[in-house]
């Protein structure tokens, strides 16, 4: 089975003491119709680089433990993150420190600075992913329409797993995917 994972808020956390809503608000662009993400200005890039320092991005222990466990099964695992080019050094340092280069068959990053939902949809199609896990629900709604054969899991703060659409399920821990998708 081909399984894809997002990075931020799925395997590594946001910096401590900064509310998720602040970070998410800086990232997403408000538009009436459709989905748009902001590319940060130079001063914002500087701040984002600081906030992406390895020591400020702790791994989510239970999710990384699950990742290591499922890596032992007969699955092909991919990391698909929409991190932009200006974060490349910080991203490479983090993924190496966490040993992701030995867990994932391949890692994909949005180093061409495309719209994140378009980048991820293209990679999901290219890899023929059976499962993809992300914390960004608006993004998942978009990519789910374009990738009907893929089962998407929204990592959220809901108390229990819940099927939301034909191919999107809300979960609150990575291990919840096993409830909806048997190991093959």
Inside any domain, residue 48: no
For residue 77, the 8-state DSSP code is: E
Tokens representing residue 70 in the block: 């499922």
Inside any domain, residue 39: no
Whole-number Å distance between alpha carbons of 69 and 87: 28
CB atoms within 10 A of CB 165: 12
Inside any domain, residue 58: yes
Inside any domain, residue 31: no
* Best CA proximity match to 83, nearest among 30, 10, 31: 10
Q: What percent of the chain has pLDDT over 90?
A: 64
Q: What is the pTM (predicted TM-score) of this model? A: 0.91
* pLDDT of the residue at 183: 40
* pLDDT of the residue at 62: 95
Residues whose CB falls within 8 Å of the CB of residue 156, separated by 6 or more in sequence, listed in order:
135, 137, 170, 171, 172
* Best CA proximity match to 80, nearest among 91, 66, 90: 91
Residues 5 and 67: beta-carbon distance below 8 Å: yes
Domain count of the chain?
1
Inside any domain, residue 10: yes
Show the DSSP H helices in the chain as ranges.
20-27, 42-51, 61-71, 88-97, 100-103, 116-127, 137-146, 177-180
Tokens representing residue 106 in the block: 């391949």
Q: Output the domain CATH number for residue 84.
A: 3.40.50.1000
Q: What digits encode the pLDDT tens for the residues 51-97?
A: 888 888 999 999 999 999 999 988 999 999 999 999 999 999 999 99
- More confident call, 26 vs 96: 96
* Best CA proximity match to 119, nearest among 153, 149, 90, 142: 142
- Least trusted range by pLDDT, from 99-103, 120-124, 163-167: 163-167
Structural domain of residue 114, as residue ranges?
2-15+53-180
Inside any domain, residue 41: no
Whole-number Å distance between alpha carbons of 148 and 143: 9
Inside any domain, residue 159: yes
């Amino acid at each position: 089975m081909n399984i894809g994972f997002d990075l931020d808020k799925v395997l590594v956390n946001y910096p401590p003491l900064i509310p998720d809503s602040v970070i998410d608000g800086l990232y997403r662009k408000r538009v009436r119709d459709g989905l748009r993400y902001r590319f940060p200005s130079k001063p914002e890039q500087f701040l984002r680089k600081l906030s992406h320092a390895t020591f400020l991005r702790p791994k989510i222990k239970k999710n990384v433990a699950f990742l290591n466990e499922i890596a032992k099964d007969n699955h092909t695992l991919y990391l698909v993150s929409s991190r932009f080019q200006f974060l490349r050094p910080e991203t490479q340092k983090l993924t190496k420190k966490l040993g992701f280069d030995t867990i994932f068959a391949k890692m994909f990053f949005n180093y061409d600075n495309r719209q994140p939902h378009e980048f991820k949809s293209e990679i999901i199609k290219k890899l023929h992913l059976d499962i993809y896990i992300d914390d960004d629900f608006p993004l998942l709604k978009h990519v789910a329409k374009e990738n009907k054969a893929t089962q998407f899991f929204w990592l959220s703060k809901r108390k229990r797993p819940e099927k939301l659409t034909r191919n999107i399920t809300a979960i609150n821990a990575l291990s919840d995917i096993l409830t909806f998708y048997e190991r093959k």
